[in-house]
Amino acid sequence: MIHNFNAGPSILPNEVFREAADAILNFNNTGLSILELGHRTPVFTAVMDEARSLAKELMNLDDDHKVLFLHGGASTQFMQVPMNLLDLKDTASYADTGVWSSKAIKEAKLFGKIDVVCSSKERNYRFIPKDFAVPNDAKYLHITTNNTIYGSQWQSIPTTSNVLVADMSSDILSRNIDFNSFGLIYAGAQKNIGAAGVSLVVINEQILGKTKRPIPTIMDYRNHIAEGSMLNTPPVFAVYVCLLTLRWLKKLGGLSAIEKINNEKAALLYNALDSNDLFQTHVVKEDRSKMNVCFTMKNSDHEQLFQDFAKENGVIGIKGHRLSGGFRASLYNALPLSSVEYLVELMQSFSQKHG
């Protein structure tokens, strides 16, 4: 048995894999593969409509907030957000809490003035800054709710009178928060939503149409909203996998239910790390991510040994990102509690041998 702690693309529910595989051969008893169906056929438009409305339901969104499934990963949103919300002379505020935030900042600078209102870079992104002010005239404040590489997470969402924009790629749908307090949310699908190749974007449509710059048709969110996320050929299979994952999440009890399980998984692993002399974590406790648990070993000679031991025993995907080193166990929605229990047992037997 394999326990998959990959950071993304990552584990999805087994039933999603099975149903997705069936749809490749015979989609909904049409005798056709989902890969050969026209995207404007009623069978596919029903997929898109249900995926959008399920996301709306799970996130409890009001009618101003529109759900889109757009091409490309979250990195495309790094430019599409400022292109739609910022004029060259305008300023947007960004919180720099990790590698992905700084990539978002770099792209946004092409479209306007960027004010980095806080940063934890000097301390190797080991905490989430709390004391910072956002100028009243900033067009929006951008945060990255979970820092996939360094393993920190905003446990409470900052309150601001500015439009709030969030990259939620690595913790979307993992907890119940007030999604309506955001002007715009984006997330690559390949962690908690479904298959790579599509992003979920949620926009309060009241924030659009305020910039003067000409926006290419395919980049303008208003066109995607008007066309129900079918402006051009959507990544049909990736959207279908998202639908299957959203159905799974609803059946499980939605965001409150998954949040409870996610809290349990994270507590189990952090407790094991805190009580084991061989391992150490670096992010300050109150800002620890419940999705990506990053750790190192006090004796660096142990790292390769533990890596090999984990692999031999069916644990994959725990090698840390090349920038941060060490280990990272990603505990996304579809990872069962039993996999975390298994990893904790492995850590204990490793420390009995080497401690």
The catalytic site residues sit at 100, 167, 191
90 vs 167, beta carbon nearer ligand PMP: 167
Distance CA 329, CA 188 (A): 19
DSSP type of residue 158: P
Closest CB 167 distance from ligand PMP, rounded Å: 5
Interface ranges with ligand PMP (CB under 6 A): 8, 73-75, 100, 144, 148, 167, 169-170, 188
Helix, strand, coil percent values for the chain (each to nearest 5): 40, 20, 40
In angstroms, what is the C-alpha Rg of the chain?
21
Closest CB 148 distance from ligand PMP, rounded Å: 3
93 vs 148, beta carbon nearer ligand PMP: 148
State the DSSP H helix or E strand holding residue 340, giving kind and residue range, or none if neither.
Answer: helix 337-354
For residue 212 the two structure tokens come to 């003067």
3 vs 328, beta carbon nearer ligand PMP: 328
Task: Report the b/e string of 146-185 with b at 16+ CB within 10 A.
Answer: bbbbbbbbbeeebeeebbbbbbbbbbbbbbbbebeebbbb
171 vs 220, beta carbon nearer ligand PMP: 171
- The closest alpha carbon to 343, from 313, 321, 320, 319, belongs to 313
Closest CB 312 distance from ligand PMP, rounded Å: 27
Closest CB 168 distance from ligand PMP, rounded Å: 8
Name the closest residue to ligand PMP (Cβ).
73
Distance CA 113, CA 82 (A): 10
Distance CA 202, CA 234 (A): 16
196 vs 344, beta carbon nearer ligand PMP: 196
CB-CB neighbours of 74 under 10 Å = 23
Distance CA 1, CA 346 (A): 14
